[in-house]
Structure 1
């Protein structure tokens, strides 16, 4: 039976090193946990605290660590589903880092944990690239470097206590060494217009517009108060009540869910006559993981790379994974597809059989009553019914099979999802081509930046009906609800009216959003086009790829020179006595009598003394003994004052080497 090997005690982590490693790991994982779903982040955070405390007291056997790891992996998939996305991968990374402290015992374990923990702040940028994530990531990197410096001190067996300020200064010097190269790479490295590879989508969808609308699913979107887009107008600004940010158009209905038609999407854009009034604006759209863009009704032209569908909805070639900027011009439509093809008409009148019988019967009755007054009279009658009988509320139950019947005849209360869906069903049953349009309505003007913020909670759905001679016309039944019939809103449910009435609180929110917009503009929005514009003054025009690469190369060489200079300063001996001694050694090395790295000082003098004249050998021997006594025997014998010895070492010059005797 063989004995189990015992680890070298000198390789075990001391208390200070262990604390530094655990602190660096916690700060590394924190920004990643902030981007995960709240329940999962809380569970992983608690598990991390437990493992850190356990690692301070005992070693956990391997089989127990394996079971704990499997339990955390199962927890991640149970809360996030089996669909794998980049957020799932980030959650699994956080789970593994939570387990890793359980095997923290030696110096090697400490380095491994710090090295793996540094992946966490980098993974955070796959989910969020905001200033908070960057700040936490920088703090994590600094703490990781401090922990590694402490591990190096322990491994060197240096018994001296290094002050925290001195260790922090070393770390900051390392950061200062690499900072110019990092900045030159960010600003000057040639940007490409399209990514080299695709980024996996999230397993858990982020709130945002989609090409479907089902009962109840919009509540999550409308409860999200985060910005969806920020808009700057150049010139005239429309009234907030006229800001309809048009997104996906939904034409297919299965009795419960509205969906954008895959067939109609590929038709060429329909004929459109715009009014004279024009709005020129720039939008910064937050990432949505969807390819849908929004624009004021109706955009004049599509930006580069964007496709306009038949109903003039905008589609990007790939999902929006990061903040994107778009410059557009829009004008209200006077006539929108005045001639309707038979195929489009049939699609805009189609209703599934066996659904909403009361709504269908009411619509047919209205059609008979309208007589020669036509479709416009039916639309007006429906809007009058909404104004007189319906109310606005978010407190609605999930509907059953007949969604429009329950809303129009039983509830008579709801929000835009219910109003637009039931209204279009009613119009189609009356023989009027109609469809649901989704997007955002309104906006909020930020007083600091003078721009407009459209939030996810501004998500809205309205209807478009086709009228003879006018084409598609926007009709918003939700906006027709009388003010006295608005029973509750998102602000009422959130109970935020107290803080919302405080001017200082509102100003702080505006200031925070303005700073975030500046970050998006300076950092996240710096693409290939912005880089070309930045460098135009240098080249008198647009710099080519070769010129750009050359400029980056020159800047990188300057940054490398800066790194070498700082590194050389960092390796300079700070002890004046050692610095003087090494200078003396360099003088003798120039005449071929240098000291070997492993050679003690007195032995070196004994070796080279025969090659020197008597006076030089005697002076060097005296200086060397004084150096050894001062440096290594202080307190044992009486040593010479350091300042005097440093002066004498600098004044000493290498004695001439004795000429060799001629061989017989």
Structure 2
């Protein structure tokens, strides 16, 4: 028996020695891992689930994981060489890689050299990439370069704190590039990982990782109410400066040129182009022509805008071409124009979109002489702008000679069949432009033309090949060929590119236009009418204009995408992507509208409506009061959760000890003293003081000064407490009748002493 006890005691000593050694190793594990020294890490439980093993990782690995999560979202807009340098830098910090360098001085010397060389080459690369020392994307790239370079001197905990703090700035820089819902989710995930890395740094000796998620939850619960208060009440200030991107991002949507096949590719995309909020009734579907660009220059293959065109802004005096256009507007239309707001997705281009013919009173938006809208800088972030449309407006009722030449120009050679057909039909129409347009429509209707998203490939004489051979195409094929035949007959014509139609959002209060709604049509100049819109696509597929691209695709199914198995696959992919995009776009719309779009005006309206706040001083008072209230509530909740919880049988004894301590602190129960041991010490102290004739503090706890009465009560208290805590009653539920009866007796005995 003695040997067994000694063995057990020795085992305990051995285990405690082992635990202390392991704890010491784990305490120094960050520095050892950072220096490439092999530190074996084993979770306390080998059968633990993967997420528990992940939480139990040492702090050094959490710092590296945080860098991957922080840098990865920037890959969408940063140069690939910088992302590659970041990947190499993170991989080089792995203990396995660092362990290759046997000597510590050798490791630091090499890493310091790589750090300096990489940083200097990185600065040179940024200059060559952006061609400027300023700019938003240049600043973000420089910030990422600084973070990546700092990793090469990650040896101590203070280095990790610097890296993690810098990581938070790199995460916040994502909002400078985009404020969408996806970016917000990326920032939230990155912030959570960085916070877990901070927690792990302060809890590196915790081999099981227990409590790390709880600490993260406490931080999150404390921060969210303050976040809501700051969002609602913190004054929204206008931007003090504006910085544009350097224009290195890829363009999306309608481009500044048009060749056969361009719009067909867009027609298979369900990506959102822009949203529209109409103040009143929406115009009919067949009138929703969203004007973007006008193409007047044709080289036989590609249509491009005219090289020079005038621009007008609402802050300037209206030129003659604006005045001439407004002179054609009826009084009733001028008094009640169509008002709507466009929420344009980033395009990295200058031109905007609006219904024929768009005007904007915003000073930063220009109206061109071709009656399109444009901005001085590319649209790099979601843009909201107000537009007016005046019905029955006619533009360029008198055509200048320069504009006539520009819109009659054709290549000297090429497409002889189309030229001959144009001459023939024009002569048969009596050289009347209106009758000639009708003749072309009739010829197309008599011929077996087909509207498709997968047109055959065209070669040199593209107009001839389309009109007389393939006879299958998308809107750009029809508008390009129709405009060519008009010019071949001596009628001024041009191509307009933009979007047509759209569809209501899922809740129906917003109109959504997607890339699949990209469209091209023709404008022909007629004497006395000016430029008139003619859509040759409607000759072949009138349902495209009347019902919209989405409805037409649903009706025709895979036939719109060609023939064979590939067409069926493309159609199924289109349907799946369309459903997912509509859901994500709806969520993104409300995020942009209610969160990102919560500007000065919306904040003032909301605060006045909800809290009757009408001045900045009231707003600041509400902000301070709400913040203090939230913090006070958090403190109270934390205190309440961390307060000492007593067992029902311990609470009466705690009250008794508190009463005794007022008279004699030596008789109060100590923190490391059990309740039964304290009651025995209390009884012994009373006997000892009574025998020595000392006035006992216990005599003041009851009406009776007889120590026998006090001792009797203490004995009953000990018996009841022992039954409730360690006896048969300890197995009962606290609501059991017998348990409650004994507990009431315990409380009654304690009250008798109190």
Report the TM-score when normalising by structure 1. 0.70
* Alpha-carbon distance in 1 for matches of 2:131, 2:558: 40
Residue 534 (structure 1) aligns with? 606
Q: Is the 8 A contact 2:425 2:440 kept in 1?
A: no
Query: Which residues in structure 2 correspond to 1:40-55 (within 5 Å)?
Result: none
Q: What is the Cα deviation at residue 141 of structure 1?
A: 1.5
Residue 215 (structure 2) aligns with? 167
Residue 354 (structure 1) aligns with? 412
Q: What is the Cα deviation at residue 557 of structure 1?
A: 3.0
Deviations 1:305-329 (A, max 9, x none): 4332223212235433333334445
Residue 438 (structure 1) aligns with? 497
Deviations 1:203-255 (A, max 9, x none): 12231334433555546544442111122445543333332111222223445
Residue 589 (structure 2) aligns with? 517
Cα 1:430–1:556 change in 2 (3 A) is same
Query: Which residues in structure 2 correspond to 1:307-326 (within 5 Å)?
Result: 307-326=366-385
The answer to whether residue 90 in structure 2 is matched with residue 18 in structure 1 is no
Q: Matched residue pairs, number?
A: 574
Deviations 1:307-353 (A, max 9, x none): 322232122354333333344453543644322232322222233x5
Q: What's the secondary structure of 1:116's corresponding residue?
A: helix
Cα 1:508–1:227 change in 2 (3 A) is closer
Q: Is the 8 A contact 2:423 2:488 kept in 1?
A: no
Q: Given the alignment, which residue of 557, 581, 598 partners 2:624?
A: 557
Q: What is the Cα deviation at residue 285 of structure 1?
A: 2.1
Q: What is the Cα deviation at residue 390 of structure 1?
A: 3.5
The answer to whether residue 430 in structure 2 is matched with residue 369 in structure 1 is no
Residue 325 (structure 2) aligns with? 271
Q: Given the alignment, which residue of 183, 194, 207 partners 2:252?
A: 207
Query: Which residues in structure 2 correspond to 1:289-300 (within 5 Å)?
Result: 289-299=348-358
Q: What is the Cα deviation at residue 474 of structure 1?
A: 0.9
Query: Which residues in structure 2 correspond to 1:26-45 (within 5 Å)?
Result: 26-33=68-75, 35-36=76-77
* Alpha-carbon distance in 1 for matches of 2:245, 2:579: 37
Q: Given the alignment, which residue of 286, 300, 308 partners 1:262?
A: 308
Q: What's the secondary structure of 1:212's corresponding residue?
A: coil
* Alpha-carbon distance in 2 for matches of 1:568, 1:148: 22
Q: What is the Cα deviation at residue 145 of structure 1?
A: 2.1
Deviates more, 1:528-537 or 1:282-291: 528-537
Q: Is the 8 A contact 1:443 1:452 kept in 2?
A: yes
Q: What is the Cα deviation at residue 258 of structure 1?
A: 0.9
Q: What is the Cα deviation at residue 522 of structure 1?
A: 0.1
Cα 1:510–1:257 change in 2 (3 A) is closer
* Alpha-carbon distance in 2 for matches of 1:218, 1:70: 43
Q: Given the alignment, which residue of 246, 249, 256 partners 2:294?
A: 249
* Alpha-carbon distance in 1 for matches of 2:90, 2:266: 33
Q: Given the alignment, which residue of 495, 517, 534 partners 2:569?
A: 495
* Alpha-carbon distance in 2 for matches of 1:394, 1:324: 30
Cα 1:364–1:206 change in 2 (3 A) is closer
Q: Is the 8 A contact 1:250 1:260 kept in 2?
A: yes
Q: What is the Cα deviation at residue 430 of structure 1?
A: 1.7
Residue 746 (structure 2) aligns with? none
Cα 1:308–1:82 change in 2 (3 A) is closer
* Alpha-carbon distance in 1 for matches of 2:83, 2:444: 45
The answer to whether residue 258 in structure 2 is matched with residue 229 in structure 1 is no
Cα 1:354–1:55 change in 2 (3 A) is farther
Q: Is the 8 A contact 1:55 1:103 kept in 2?
A: no
Structure whose CA Rg is larger = 2
Q: Is the 8 A contact 1:363 1:429 kept in 2?
A: no
Q: What's the secondary structure of 1:349's corresponding residue?
A: coil
More helix by share: 2
* Alpha-carbon distance in 2 for matches of 1:379, 1:100: 69
Q: What is the Cα deviation at residue 429 of structure 1?
A: 2.6
Cα 1:572–1:57 change in 2 (3 A) is farther
Deviations 1:505-546 (A, max 9, x none): 9776544433222112102223343334335559999x6xxx
Residue 123 (structure 1) aligns with? 173
Q: Please, what is the CA RMSD of the aligned residues?
A: 5.1
Q: What is the Cα deviation at residue 108 of structure 1?
A: 2.8
Q: What's the secondary structure of 2:497's corresponding residue?
A: strand
Cα 1:45–1:479 change in 2 (3 A) is farther
Deviations 1:367-395 (A, max 9, x none): 76146341122222333344425433444
* Alpha-carbon distance in 1 for matches of 2:149, 2:528: 69
* Alpha-carbon distance in 2 for matches of 1:159, 1:371: 90
Deviates more, 1:462-471 or 1:117-126: 117-126
